Amino acid sequence: MQSDNGLSDAWGVIDLVQALTAALDAKSSYTRGHSDRVAELSWALARELGQGDREAESARIAGHLHDIGKIGISDSLISKAGALTPEELETMRRHTRIGASLVEQVAHLRGYAPAVRGHHERWDGRGYPDGLSGDSIPIEARIICIADSYDAMTSVRSYRAQLSATAAVEEIRRCSGTQFDPELVEAFARLFAAGELPLLLRIEELVNADPVIHFRAAIENA
């Protein structure tokens, strides 16, 4: 998915991702930090699955971009406390299609569109926007789905209580084979058992003060 045109193009991707995610963060403080954590968790899960540097870096970049379609959703809806009406839910779900079409318009990012579009698909086919199931869901999307859910459950949200890391992993295990790819759930549980999930989040918080340096360090180390 990443360009094969050398480091200069890789840096171009970084700048584009930075610009897009900065636009989302400027729009909504509610999502600030979420995409960074999902990106780091996605990278770690990809590595735990045995993916190489390039594939894991693709998962990381797709993680940064996954909710970029929320640029096209109203602030009041994104930050609404309490349950969404069916109409609001339908509107919110459009962020997957909006995000994919936005990413598709940028030549260097086009390869990430399937992951952005598919990050709310479910293993059992009951997700959206396309109702894909099993292996037909892009692997990056399946990875992001778990990372996204874990971060949402362990973050403070106005409409529900924050879960501990242990409780969030238990919930992900409970949804193995329905919402999530069972093989990925096992890999994620191994990361947790190794104590690497909380460590990842602490590292992310430390580097979050200068995400550009963090991004570039990630590419240089890849």
Q: Which chain residues interact with Fe ion by CB under 5 A?
A: 67
Burial zone of 91 (CB within 10 Å; 0-12 exposed, 13-18 middle, 19+ buried) = middle
What's the distance, CA 154 to chain centroid? 14
CB of 173 to Fe ion, least distance (A): 21
CB of 69 to Fe ion, least distance (A): 8
Quick one: which of 20, 32, 220 has its CA closest to 116?
Answer: 20
Tell me whether residue 111 or residue 118 sits nearer to Fe ion (CB atom): 118
CB of 66 to Fe ion, least distance (A): 6
Tell me whether residue 139 or residue 145 sits nearer to Fe ion (CB atom): 145
Tell me whether residue 93 or residue 214 sits nearer to Fe ion (CB atom): 93
Tell me whether residue 53 or residue 88 sits nearer to Fe ion (CB atom): 88
CB of 36 to Fe ion, least distance (A): 15
Closest residue to Fe ion, judged by C-beta, is: 67
67: left (phi over 0), alpha (psi -120 to 50) or beta: alpha
The vertex-145 CA angle with 140 and 147, nearest 5°, equals 95
